């Protein structure tokens, strides 16, 4: 997997101070994409998990990690994304993980594959759905268009219905 970028700290990609990993490669090709260059799977540099995890562990200001892109949950990227999330959770169980995806939660659940289910169990907040230009709204927090949802994954899986996070 290639990495399109990494922020050591940010407060605009989820609640609280967070490290942000942007993975390369996305199959969705949304018109008006905010990060078109990252649609290319070969863009950026090879993801070095050890280096990135060390940078995160060395930063005491952080409360969590956000994974964005590109598309973290496509079949090409999801194995390394899951491996990365697991290592973060093992080292910092109190960290919360936000993940941006162009898929909807329902589409991910319909896959019925082990790796996607495991990933959903590790993620705390899923910002789901493609960017839709006609529904673009710059006043929205942490999302680009109003079709996208900020989902509390654990509550949603438990209650078997989508529970959105109030932000």
Least distance (Å) from ligand SF4 to the CB of residue 135? 12
Least distance (Å) from ligand SF4 to the CB of residue 50? 26
Q: Which residues contact 150 (CB under 8 A, 6 or more apart)?
A: 125, 126, 127, 142, 143, 164, 165, 167
Q: Identify which of residues 25 and 64 has a Cβ nearer to ligand SF4 in the complex.
A: 25
Residue 19 CB-density burial (10 A; 0-12 exposed, 13-18 middle, 19+ buried) = buried
From the list 44, 64, 72, 102, which residue makes contact with ligand SF4 (rule: CB under 6 A)?
102
**Contacts with ligand SF4: how many residues (CB under 6 A)?**
15
Q: Could you give phi then psi for residue 153, rounded to 5 degrees?
A: -65, -45
Question: What binding mask, one character per residue, do residues 118-157 give for ligand SF4 by CB under 6 A, x or -?
Answer: ------------xx--------------------------
Q: Beta 64-68 vs 45-46: how paired, if at all?
A: unpaired
Least distance (Å) from ligand SF4 to the CB of residue 35? 5
Q: Identify which of residues 53 and 128 has a Cβ nearer to ligand SF4 in the complex.
A: 128
Least distance (Å) from ligand SF4 to the CB of residue 164? 19
41 CB neighbour count, 10 Å cutoff: 18
Q: Which of residues 5-34 bind ligand SF4 (CB under 6 A)?
A: 26, 28-30, 33-34
Note whether 97 and 67 are within 8 A (CB): yes
Q: Could you give phi then psi for residue 93, rounded to 5 degrees?
A: -60, -25
From the list 39, 77, 116, 148, which residue makes contact with ligand SF4 (rule: CB under 6 A)?
39
What's the CA gap between 77 and 115, in Å, rounded? 11
Residues that bind ligand SF4 (CB under 6 A): 26, 28-30, 33-35, 38-39, 69-71, 102, 130-131
């Amino acid at each position: 997997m290639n990495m399109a970028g990494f922020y050591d700290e940010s407060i605009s990609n989820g609640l609280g101070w967070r490290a942000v990993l942007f993975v390369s490669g996305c199959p969705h090709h949304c018109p008006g994409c905010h990060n078109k260059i990252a649609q290319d799977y070969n863009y950026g540099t090879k993801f070095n998990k050890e280096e990135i995890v060390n940078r995160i562990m060395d930063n005491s200001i952080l409360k969590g990690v956000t994974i964005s892109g590109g598309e973290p949950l496509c079949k090409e990227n999801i194995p390394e994304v899951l491996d990365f999330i697991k290592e973060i959770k093992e080292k910092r169980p109190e960290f919360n993980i936000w993940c941006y995806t162009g898929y909807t939660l329902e589409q991910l659940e319909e896959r019925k594959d082990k790796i996607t289910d495991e990933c959903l169990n590790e993620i705390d907040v899923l910002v789901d759905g493609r960017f839709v230009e006609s529904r673009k709204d710059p006043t929205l927090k942490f999302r680009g268009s109003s079709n996208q949802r900020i989902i509390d994954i654990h509550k949603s899986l438990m209650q078997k219905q989508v529970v959105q996070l109030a932000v």
